[in-house]
Amino acid sequence: QVQLVESGGGSVQAGGSLRLSCTATGSALSRYYMSWFRQAPGKEREGVANITPRGRTRYSDSAKDRFTISRDDDKNTLSLQMNSLKPEDTAMYFCAAADRVSYLLEFRTSNYNNWGQGTQVTVSS
């Protein structure tokens, strides 16, 4: 079982950038399908970005062209570079790991059995 810890959240103004990190322990990150999810108050958790063990990526429509997911398996770390942040990006951000995720089902939360505790991102207008 892999343990995940997110960091890098904070408060920024609209148009700013943040870089989130997710550090894995207990197991090698390289074997997992990894995703970033977010959850705003009163809303369901939604997928933001996914990366397969081979490095193929997929983004939600809201994240496309602004966010970049990457993985450094040597450092057992997952990252999310977020640029051009908007107030609607305000949420708790979680990283998650799955042994396998089918194509086009990357953002189904039930596919993931390993979650971090989350890091808060707040974007002010």
DSSP string across 11-73? EEETT--EEEEEEEESS-GGGSEEEEEEE-TTS--EEEEEE-TT--EEE-TTTTTTEEEEEET
Each of the 125 residues of the chain gets a pLDDT tens digit; together they read: 899 999 999 999 999 999 999 999 999 999 999 999 999 999 999 999 999 999 999 999 999 999 999 999 999 999 999 999 999 999 999 999 999 998 888 999 999 999 999 999 999 99
Residue 124: partners with Cβ closer than 8 Å, 6 or more residues away: 11, 12, 13, 14, 87
Residue 13, number of CB atoms within 10 A of its CB: 10
What per-residue confidence (pLDDT) applies to 118?
98
Task: Please give the pLDDT value at position 102.
Answer: 87
Locate 121 and state its tokens.
Answer: 């991102």
